[in-house]
Amino acid sequence: MAKPLVLVTGNIKKLEEFRQLLGSTFPYEILSKDIDLPEYQGEPIEVAEAKCRLAIDHIKGPVIVEDTSLCFNALGGLPGPYIKWFLKNLGPSGLYKLLSGFDDKTAYALCTYAYSSGEEGAPIKIFSGRCDGNIVEPRGPANFGWDPCFMPQGFDKTYAEMDKSMKHSISHRGKAMVMLKDYFVKNGVPKI
């Protein structure tokens, strides 16, 4: 029997959105595993690849990992992959204040999925999704990370103020998931 795909994440909200986006009709079994993977430094793709390599060592089968960046254009793309620590220490309102000295409040959210079949020598496949927007004063429920201070371009609501189906239809994660699903539809999952 084929091994299930394992999404390795320690973040319950990411897992929740992953399951919602994947939908119930996805034809493969998905398990999740909370392994506290190290937070790597580097470009988003390098970070996702490094996480994926480590996840393969743990799972020894097909794995998916996700890394999320929030990039402020006025700061040359920072915090980027380091958003977790900025958020932890500053909160959404502190992220907004970080840009108080800049006219440019534009930012983009980036979701990078890295997938490997886990087989010896198998490549790591990358699927990225980007959503452009602005950093605003926090609005809406503070249920998930920086959602209250990110307002996607062309909308007057923050991610936090949107209902989930609206967020999913335009979000960084929603866009990455379209590509990930498309890959599995075309290639299937390995029978190992």
Ligand X SMILES: O=c1[nH]c(=O)c2ncn([C@@H]3O[C@H](COP(=O)(O)OP(=O)(O)OP(=O)(O)O)[C@@H](O)[C@H]3O)c2[nH]1
Q: Strand, helix or coil at 34? A: coil
User: What backbone phi and psi angles, to 5 degrees, belong to 144?
Assistant: -140, 115
Judge residue 27's burial from the number of C-beta atoms within 10 Å of its C-beta, 0-12 exposed, 13-18 middle, 19 or more buried. exposed
118 binds ligand X (CB under 6 A): no
Write each residue from 87 to 116 as x if it is in contact with ligand X (CB under 6 A), else as -, in one continuous string: x-----------------------------
Site for ligand X in 126-165 (CB under 6 A): 144-147, 159
Query: Would you say 103 or 163 has its CB closer to ligand X?
Result: 163
Q: Determine the Cα angle at 112 with ends 106 and 114, to 5°.
A: 170
Residues 6+ apart with CB under 8 A from 14: 66, 68, 173
Euclidean distance between the first and the last CA atom of the chain, given in angstroms as a whole number: 8
**Contact of 72 with 150, CB cutoff 8 Å:** no
* 175 annotated to a ligand binding site: no
49 binds ligand X (CB under 6 A): no
Nearest to 153 by CA among 126, 127, 171: 171
Q: What minimum distance in Å lies between the beta carbon of 65 and ligand X?
A: 6
Query: Would you say 83 or 99 has its CB closer to ligand X?
Result: 83
* 158 annotated to a ligand binding site: no
Query: Would you say 96 or 159 has its CB closer to ligand X?
Result: 159
Write each residue from 5 to 44 as x if it is in contact with ligand X (CB under 6 A), else as -, in one continuous string: ----xxx--x----------------------x-x-----
* 39 annotated to a ligand binding site: yes
The H or E element that residue 165 is part of is: helix 164-170
Residue type, 132: D
Q: How many residues lie near ligand X (CB under 6 A)?
A: 18
The whole-angstrom separation of Cα 189 and Cα 177 is 16
Binding residue for ligand X, selected from 19, 33, 53, 84, defined by CB under 6 A: 84
Q: What minimum distance in Å lies between the beta carbon of 16 and ligand X?
A: 10
Q: What minimum distance in Å lies between the beta carbon of 121 and ligand X?
A: 25
Q: Which residues bind ligand X (CB under 6 A)?
A: 9-11, 14, 37, 39, 66-68, 83-84, 87, 144-147, 159, 173
